[in-house]
Amino acid sequence: MRESRAIAANLARDLRSTRRRRRVTQRQLGDRVGLSQAQICALEGGAGAQTSLETWVALGIALDRPIAIGFTRDVVEPLIDAGHLDAQECTARIAAAGGWRTRFEAADDPRSPSGSTDLRLDREGVIVLTEIWNRLDDLGAAARSSDRKLARAPAGTRVLWLLVDAAANHAIVRRYPGVLKARFPASSAAWVRAISTSIEPPAEAGLAWIDVRTGRLRELRIRDRRRGARDDPASVSSDQEEPMRTLITNGTIVTAEGATSADVLIDGESIAQIGTGLAANGVTADETIDAAGRWLIPGAIDVHTHMELPFGGTFAKDTFETGTRAAAFGGTTTIVDFAVQSRGKSLREGLDAWHAKAEGNAVADYGFHMIMSDVNDDTLAEMDGLVDEGVPDFKLFTAYPGVFYSDDGAIFRAMQQTAKNGGLIMMHAENGMAIDVVAADLVADGKTDPYYHGVARYPIFEGEATNRVIRLAEAAGVPVYIVHLSARDALNAVREARDRGVKAFAETCPQYLFLSLDDLGNGFNGAKFVCSPPLRPADHQDELWTGLVKDDLQLVSTDHCPFDFEGQKDLGKGDFRKVPNGLPGVEDRVDLLHDGGVVAGRITKERWVEIISTAPAKLFGMYPTKGAIAVGSDADLVVYDPNARHTISAKTHHMDVDYSCYEGREVQGRSDIVLSRGSVIVRDGQFTGRKGAGRFVKRAPADHARIS
């Protein structure tokens, strides 16, 4: 009872805040969603909600509209166990809540492994459909049967639609391509949206998505075809705002191809028009951003992050919420994070765990690569499915024996599989076996400070492993991508391979361009700089910059993997091998590369845009939806001030970590306004976005033959 009161209270609060945010009165909100002011008042007061189930039912009845409400399976199963979805019980509760006389037409036993249940309340044209899908196989049939029922529903039927999703719903579109018309997303919330748009509802339709764990209203959307408007013209939404038109004027558009003065019109989530003098030519917008004196660049893309990565007995500290928010402050609007397959578990479990971490939390868009810890017949077979689900890259390691390490045979098998399924193998290339020998010798000699982390991991070990994995990829006939390349030895291996015509690609990271082995000194303070591969002697840096200029290195990502100095890095006091490996950086990359690259005269501003945004989008199957300023592209945009100066510091950064590797460093260049799919999420140092607004980016395998 207490729980349901809390849910009702949350729902009430959300309605109130929706109203405040939309600046509408109760009456106006009521008009939009077809409720009387009294009904809105009652809902805002949480009236009529005695139990959580009744809350939802009450909402549906009160709305007097077709609505869809989504549950997730982990919520519903306890409800079944508690008897709430028992036919009689459920019917009685709904009747009590809304005063409706109901008739239950039973279907299958909801407890059966593949069961689905269909609860119909058909008095006075109200139908409640409850679909429980325990297995993916059921979903197509369930959707088809709902479709048939809705088709039979008389005009004006009100539908309260309770969707109970299965765990891995994102596989459905592949399996039942004919069933769902919408581009199928991975998240439960989006699934509800997708199915509600793919199954044509009666004339009026709406959608409410409520997080049933908390009762928070995440979306309330009404469609009203009678007004002859677009699909969802009368939207009252906390998850999806009304389409906004934003005009960005007077800026210099900088892309990988060149720079030009033009205005950009955003309609909803994407770029609608690019041209000179749009405002003067009568183009109107809800908001106009004057970008005079500033650049407009595509939102930066960081294809190497580790939010909440388990490592060395602890977890990387940033969550998808804090990490993507920090990224946004630094002009990065999309990240691709590494989901982890734990030893002995399936890829599926690892990927689902990462979806759960990100969904509802990320403030900006995100995709996943998959870390493979076990290569065996089962995981090899799973790889193909992941490619189809928009996770087409697999990271394997020649480092970290006993943790992520794979031997050459395993790596080769994974490469053979990607040769068939079109995916990409990403390699952490350091000879971990040899490193462990040197590290053990150093510790035995009493050399336990973090500095020796850098000493133990010879550049030649990175060069050897890089050459080896490229050779294996050549043998398997697949493209290969070397992550976090740090040493000239490894760069030479990549360059030689590319000169041979091999599809070998590589990234480096800001830490290898701006920091050096010296930073690992200074006693235990050096732990702040422990990452793998380690920081190298400073004379490697120039060659990495040359690699970027000559395109032997295609891009710069961060390998963002933050651990607090106090409480996490100090796990390695007395033994550098126990310092959790990884550095924070997702917020600093764009400015560091602008300052150290463009301002320092090493690269052009166009190449800067290419290595922070366009090349990542192309190599990782997101272009031109992302990484471009073009009509139809996502309106992920940054108004960048190339002249502003600021000082990097842990006191002011937004990453959830207690130090900065660049503390006190002054840089030129700053992201002033950051838009994610048309919404301003950062403006003049203030976060204006919303937790959970980020979407999973389903990526197609890139055509690497055309890129190289």
Of residues 53, 171, 561, 599, which one binds ligand URP by CB under 6 A? 561
Q: Say which entry of Zn ion, ligand URP, none residue 423 contacts (CB below 5 to 8 A, set by partner kind).
A: none
Instruction: Indicate the pairing of strand 504-508 with strand 295-298.
Output: unpaired
3-state helix, strand, coil in the chain (%, to 5): 40, 20, 40
Distance in angstroms (rounded) separating the CA atoms of residues 487 and 225: 61
Q: Say which entry of ligand URP, Zn ion, none residue 52 contacts (CB below 5 to 8 A, set by partner kind).
A: none
Taking the complex as a whole, the smallest distance from the CB of residue 656 to Zn ion amounts, in Å, to: 18
Q: Closest Cα to residue 223, out of 69, 67, 71? A: 67
Decide if residue 577 touches ligand URP (CB under 6 A): no
Q: Say which entry of ligand URP, Zn ion, none residue 582 contacts (CB below 5 to 8 A, set by partner kind).
A: ligand URP
| Token reading at 584 | 């924070």
Taking the complex as a whole, the smallest distance from the CB of residue 304 to ligand URP amounts, in Å, to: 7
Taking the complex as a whole, the smallest distance from the CB of residue 509 to ligand URP amounts, in Å, to: 8
Concatenating the DSSP letter of every residue in 470-487 gives HHHHHHHT--EEE-S---
Q: Say which entry of ligand URP, Zn ion, none residue 167 contacts (CB below 5 to 8 A, set by partner kind).
A: none
**Burial of residue 550, with CB atoms counted within 10 A of its CB: 0-12 exposed, 13-18 middle, 19 or more buried:** exposed
Residue nearest Zn ion, Cβ-based? 428
Taking the complex as a whole, the smallest distance from the CB of residue 512 to ligand URP amounts, in Å, to: 11
Q: Say which entry of Zn ion, ligand URP, none residue 531 contacts (CB below 5 to 8 A, set by partner kind).
A: ligand URP
Of residues 218, 428, 498, 618, which one binds ligand URP by CB under 6 A? 428
Taking the complex as a whole, the smallest distance from the CB of residue 581 to ligand URP amounts, in Å, to: 3
Q: Which is nearer to ligand URP, 406 or 532 (CB)?
A: 532
Taking the complex as a whole, the smallest distance from the CB of residue 462 to ligand URP amounts, in Å, to: 12
Taking the complex as a whole, the smallest distance from the CB of residue 455 to ligand URP amounts, in Å, to: 16
Q: Which is nearer to Zn ion, 393 or 559 (CB)?
A: 559
Q: Which stretches within 284-407 are classed as H helix? A: 320-329, 347-358, 377-388
Of residues 263, 308, 389, 559, which one binds ligand URP by CB under 6 A? 559
Q: Which of residues 286-315 bind ligand URP (CB under 6 A)?
A: 306
Q: Which is nearer to ligand URP, 90 or 509 (CB)?
A: 509
Distance in angstroms (rounded) separating the CA atoms of residues 90 and 81: 13
- Build a one-symbol-per-residue string for 468-497: x at contacts with ligand URP by CB under 6 A, - elsewhere: ----------------x-------------
Q: Say which entry of ligand URP, Zn ion, none residue 581 contacts (CB below 5 to 8 A, set by partner kind).
A: ligand URP
Q: Which is nearer to Zn ion, 256 or 371 (CB)?
A: 371
* Residues constituting the chain: 708
Q: Which of residues 508-547 bind ligand URP (CB under 6 A)?
A: 531-532
Q: Which is nearer to ligand URP, 251 or 585 (CB)?
A: 585
Helix (H) or strand (E) holding 489: helix 488-499
Concatenating the DSSP letter of every residue in 246-308 gives EEEESPEEE-SS-EEE-EEEEETTEEEEEETTTTTTT---SEEEE-TTSEEEEPEEEEEE-TT
Other C-beta atoms within 10 Å of 42: how many?
A: 17
Cβ atoms of residues 418 and 425 within 8 Å: yes
Q: Which is nearer to ligand URP, 65 or 306 (CB)?
A: 306
Q: Say which entry of ligand URP, Zn ion, none residue 457 contacts (CB below 5 to 8 A, set by partner kind).
A: none
> Would you call 653 helix, strand, or coil by DSSP?
coil
Taking the complex as a whole, the smallest distance from the CB of residue 615 to ligand URP amounts, in Å, to: 19
Distance in angstroms (rounded) separating the CA atoms of residues 221 and 242: 10
Taking the complex as a whole, the smallest distance from the CB of residue 532 to Zn ion amounts, in Å, to: 6
Interface contacts to Zn ion, rule CB under 5 A: 428, 559
Q: Which is nearer to ligand URP, 136 or 309 (CB)?
A: 309
Cis peptide before 584 (omega within 30 of 0): no
| Token reading at 58 | 């009450």
Other C-beta atoms within 10 Å of 527: how many?
A: 26
For 677, how many CA atoms within 13 A lie in the half-sphere containing its CB? 18
Distance in angstroms (rounded) separating the CA atoms of residues 343 and 401: 12
Residues binding ligand URP: what is the number (CB under 6 A)?
9
Q: Which is nearer to ligand URP, 201 or 582 (CB)?
A: 582
Distance in angstroms (rounded) separating the CA atoms of residues 8 and 58: 10
Taking the complex as a whole, the smallest distance from the CB of residue 619 to Zn ion amounts, in Å, to: 16
Q: Which is nearer to ligand URP, 340 or 470 (CB)?
A: 340
- AA letter at 48: G
Taking the complex as a whole, the smallest distance from the CB of residue 306 to Zn ion amounts, in Å, to: 5
Q: Which is nearer to ligand URP, 218 or 453 (CB)?
A: 453
Q: Which is nearer to ligand URP, 512 or 524 (CB)?
A: 512
Q: Say which entry of ligand URP, Zn ion, none residue 486 contacts (CB below 5 to 8 A, set by partner kind).
A: none
Of residues 18, 117, 541, 581, which one binds ligand URP by CB under 6 A? 581
Main-chain phi, psi angles of 453, to 5 degrees? -60, -45
| Token reading at 648 | 């990097």
Q: Which is nearer to ligand URP, 493 or 530 (CB)?
A: 530
Q: Which is nearer to ligand URP, 61 or 485 (CB)?
A: 485
Cβ atoms of residues 246 and 289 within 8 Å: yes
Taking the complex as a whole, the smallest distance from the CB of residue 380 to Zn ion amounts, in Å, to: 21
Question: What is each CA distance from 590 to 323, 364, 594, 599, 641, in whole angstroms?
Answer: 15, 16, 6, 12, 12
Distance in angstroms (rounded) separating the CA atoms of residues 585 and 662: 9
Q: Which is nearer to Zn ion, 207 or 485 (CB)?
A: 485
Taking the complex as a whole, the smallest distance from the CB of residue 395 to ligand URP amounts, in Å, to: 8
Taking the complex as a whole, the smallest distance from the CB of residue 534 to ligand URP amounts, in Å, to: 8
Q: Which is nearer to Zn ion, 428 or 589 (CB)?
A: 428
Taking the complex as a whole, the smallest distance from the CB of residue 403 to Zn ion amounts, in Å, to: 11
Q: Which of residues 59-98 bind ligand URP (CB under 6 A)?
A: none
- AA letter at 413: R
Residue nearest ligand URP, Cβ-based? 581
Concatenating the DSSP letter of every residue in 29-66 gives HHHHHT--HHHHHHHHTTTT-SSHHHHHHHHHHHHTS-
Cβ atoms of residues 315 and 345 within 8 Å: no
E-assigned strands of 402-460?
A: 424-428
- Contact set with ligand URP (CB under 6 A): 306, 428, 484, 531-532, 559, 561, 581-582
